A and B are shown apart, each in its own frame.
Chain A
Amino acid sequence: KNQVEQSPQSLIILEGKNCTLQCNYTVSPFSNLRWYKQDTGRGPVSLTIMTFSENTKSNGRYTATLDADTKQSSLHITASQLSDSASYICVVTPFYNTDKLIFGTGTRLQVFP
């Protein structure tokens, strides 16, 4: 069983709509949780980083939330744009090994006009 699981595996939405991506993790204790965006054929790019004590972090139209009690995080995208089409990856940093990030398999988002 993966230590970081994401849902849905893929998602299709229309331009302008909002969407929410989910991440459940079992890594414990953890230092921080990150969301990355990965365009096709490119490396991942950091969107947000939240420590275990933070509940929410925003970056433009992206808002990440974290519930450390239930070990769940979500990434909410507001007013989606065509350029939001990408894979979104949830990444958890173990507390005792902060250089060995644990990656989810990602949610593939497609935004259509």
Chain B
Amino acid sequence: GAGVSQSPSNKVTEKGKDVELRCDPISGHTALYWYRQRLGQGLEFLIYFQGNSAPDKSGLPSDRFSAERTGESVSTLTIQRTQQEDSAVYLCASSLYPGQFDQPQHFGDGTRLSIL
């Protein structure tokens, strides 16, 4: 498809387990973003990639969170030793170029993560 694709769409796991979330951005988009959306709250910036590099990792909540991007395409967000407060929808977005005022970020439909 032509949009941003995320997988899995839903993930239920036990506390303490590791999870890996995947994002396939729109082809040709150089910028890729990860956000977290807790129930009833606004989107919270986690990390952004310019190509395969992450200039800004300031939003990652703890060292249990990490992300990588390869081939200026697919990105994975990994959460180690999950905690119940990690339960949220994790959204990925991409844009053609970073910082362009007239370029909207195109969002995927997110991965709904539930930690039991």
Q: What is the interface of chain A, defined by CB distance below 8 A to chain B?
A: 2, 4, 31-32, 34, 41-46, 49, 51, 89, 93, 97-101, 103-106
Interface residue? B25 (CB, 8 A)? no
Among B99-113, those with CB < 8 Å from A are 99-102, 104-110
Known: A99-B48, A99-B98, A99-B99. A105 touches B107 (CB 8 A): no
A87 shortest CB reach to chain B, Å: 10
Chain B at the A interface: SS class? loop
A5 to B, closest residue via Cβ: B42
Number of interface residues of B (CB under 8 A): 27
In the bound complex, do residue A32 and residue B101 qualify as a contact, i.e. CB atoms below 8 Å apart? yes
Among B68-103, those with CB < 8 Å from A are 91, 93, 98-102
B1-27: contact bitstring with A at CB < 8 Å (1 yes, 0 no)?
A: 000100000000000000000000000
Chain A at the B interface: SS class? loop
Interface residue? B31 (CB, 8 A)? yes
Known: A99-B48, A99-B99. A104 touches B105 (CB 8 A): no
B93 to A, closest residue via Cβ: A43
Contact among B40, B41, B107 with A43 in the assembled complex (CB-CB below 8 Å): B107
In the bound complex, do residue A45 and residue B48 qualify as a contact, i.e. CB atoms below 8 Å apart? no
Apart from A43-B110, A103-B35, what 19 extra A-B contacts exist at CB < 8 Å? A2-B42, A31-B101, A42-B109, A43-B91, A43-B93, A43-B108, A44-B43, A44-B91, A46-B104, A49-B101, A89-B42, A98-B98, A99-B48, A99-B56, A99-B98, A99-B99, A100-B48, A101-B45, A106-B42
